[in-house]
């Protein structure tokens, strides 16, 4: 089990590189790569790597705590599994969607955090996710694509049986090629039309796919309970900036009115701290946790999250942060 198993199970979809940076999988969508030149995927990783931290060794008095609360969820670490679905066309033909998503959510549950589930075509993608959320007692967040209203609300109605009060919409999926390849499409919506849809949803709604301050304001106006700063892992728009580049201006615009989450290029505990310092309240990790599933299923997820937590504690210790609320932009090194 481990890296070799992941490489075998994901053969043809992912090379399981030592650092998941998008350079070996340029243009591989469907698959695990980035669209077009792959520059948006690579920008996520590179923009984080370019941020440096101030080292402080006499600022802490206790071992740092990574615990936090987000949208009513008590989390042992401010890290959620990003919503990724579609095993047979994105990840592996060897493992079922049910096995994949159950392993992901169970591993997150055991480590005191939550996983998000994906949506797509065919329906087994979202149905497998819903079943997994129910199995972990509602400790998961279902993400749906913004289908036309009737289809979306039909899926959303099933959330009432899952034990969660949260639902996500990945509005950045309007340009996702895999959806078009499966013979369907996602309607375009103005902010007002999105507001109309959100008003029909009896849950707290998280909008994923915000990359500008203006659209962050649109999301707030539409009634979003939280946003995710995301370029869909570099899978929908070529030549987009990395999420770490745009996060500060978006966080400034939101100004604490709703939680800001972020994904894109997060690989180490230090990356988690950097994103929090740039203005996020929590992060989502996608590809590395998917690879962790294929390395050893729920055990692989637990091991990866334990590693991230250990690295985050070490980074907090050496930047003078004893708790998550201590992390701000003063830990960032500027010349």
Give residue-wise pLDDT tens across range 276-292: 999 999 999 999 999 99
- 8: pLDDT strictly greater than 70: yes
Residue 326 falls inside a structural domain:
no
Averaged over 215-226, what is the pLDDT?
98
What pLDDT, on a 0 to 100 scale, did the predictor assign at position 179?
61
- 257: pLDDT strictly greater than 60: yes
pTM of structure: 0.96
Residue 149 falls inside a structural domain:
yes
Alpha helices in the chain (DSSP H): 3-9, 39-49, 97-110, 124-135, 149-157, 177-181, 191-198, 213-222, 243-254, 269-277, 287-317
What pLDDT, on a 0 to 100 scale, did the predictor assign at position 177?
56
Number of domains in the chain: 1
pLDDT category, 274, cuts 50, 70, 90? very high
What pLDDT, on a 0 to 100 scale, did the predictor assign at position 119?
95
Q: Which domain, by its residues, includes 106?
A: 68-321
DSSP lists the bridge partners of residue 116 as 141
- 183: pLDDT strictly greater than 70: no
Residue 5 falls inside a structural domain:
no
Residue 132 falls inside a structural domain:
yes
pLDDT category, 180, cuts 50, 70, 90? low
What pLDDT, on a 0 to 100 scale, did the predictor assign at position 335?
78
Residue 29 falls inside a structural domain:
no
- 1: pLDDT strictly greater than 80: no
Residue 54 falls inside a structural domain:
no
Give the whole-angstrom CA distance, residue 323 versus residue 201.
34
CB 194 within 8 A of CB 171: yes
CATH number at residue 312: 3.20.20.70
Token representation of residue 282: 């929590």
What are the pLDDT digits (tens) for 108-134? 999 999 999 999 888 999 999 999 999
CB 48 within 8 A of CB 271: yes
Averaged over 280-307, what is the pLDDT?
98
Structure letter (DSSP) for residue 318:
T
CB 177 within 8 A of CB 29: yes
Query: What average pLDDT does the structure give for the chain?
Result: 95
Token representation of residue 302: 């637990």
CB atoms within 10 A of CB 235: 28
How many whole angstroms from its chain centre is CA 115? 9
Residue 37 falls inside a structural domain:
no
pLDDT category, 141, cuts 50, 70, 90? very high
Residue 163 falls inside a structural domain:
yes
Give the whole-angstrom CA distance, residue 240 versus residue 232.
10
């Amino acid at each position: 089990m481990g890296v070799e198993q992941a490489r075998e199970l994901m053969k043809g979809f992912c090379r399981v590189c030592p650092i998941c940076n998008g350079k070996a999988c340029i243009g591989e969508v469907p698959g695990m790569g980035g669209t077009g030149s792959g520059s948006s995927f690579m920008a996520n990783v590179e923009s984080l790597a370019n941020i440096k931290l101030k080292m402080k060794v006499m600022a802490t008095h206790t071992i740092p705590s990574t615990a936090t609360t987000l949208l009513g969820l008590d989390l042992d670490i401010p890290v959620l599994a990003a919503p990724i679905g579609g095993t047979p066309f994105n990840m592996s033909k060897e493992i079922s969607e049910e096995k994949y998503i159950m392993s992901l959510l169970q591993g997150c549950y055991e480590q005191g955090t939550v996983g998000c589930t994906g949506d797509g075509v065919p329906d087994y993608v979202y149905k497998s996710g819903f079943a997994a959320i129910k199995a972990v007692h509602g400790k998961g967040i279902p993400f749906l694509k913004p289908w036309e209203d009737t289809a979306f609300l039909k899926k959303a109605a099933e959330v009432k049986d899952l034990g969660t009060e949260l639902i996500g919409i990945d509005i950045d999926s309007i340009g996702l090629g895999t959806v078009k390849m499966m013979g369907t499409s996602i309607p375009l919506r103005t902010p007002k039309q999105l507001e109309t849809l959100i008003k029909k949803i009896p849950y707290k709604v998280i909008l994923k796919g915000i990359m500008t301050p203006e659209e962050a304001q649109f999301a707030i106006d539409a009634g979003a309970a939280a946003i995710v700063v995301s370029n869909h892992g570099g899978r929908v728009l070529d030549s987009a900036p990395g999420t770490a580049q745009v996060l500060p201006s978006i966080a400034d615009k939101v100004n604490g009115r709703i939680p800001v989450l972020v994904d894109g290029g997060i690989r180490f505990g230090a990356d988690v701290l950097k994103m929090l310092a740039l203005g996020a309240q929590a992060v989502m990790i996608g590809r590395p946790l998917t690879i962790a599933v294929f390395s050893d299923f729920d055990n692989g997820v637990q091991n990866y999250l334990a590693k991230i937590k250990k690295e985050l504690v070490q980074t907090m210790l050496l930047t003078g942060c004893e708790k998550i609320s201590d992390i701000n932009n003063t830990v960032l090194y500027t010349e």
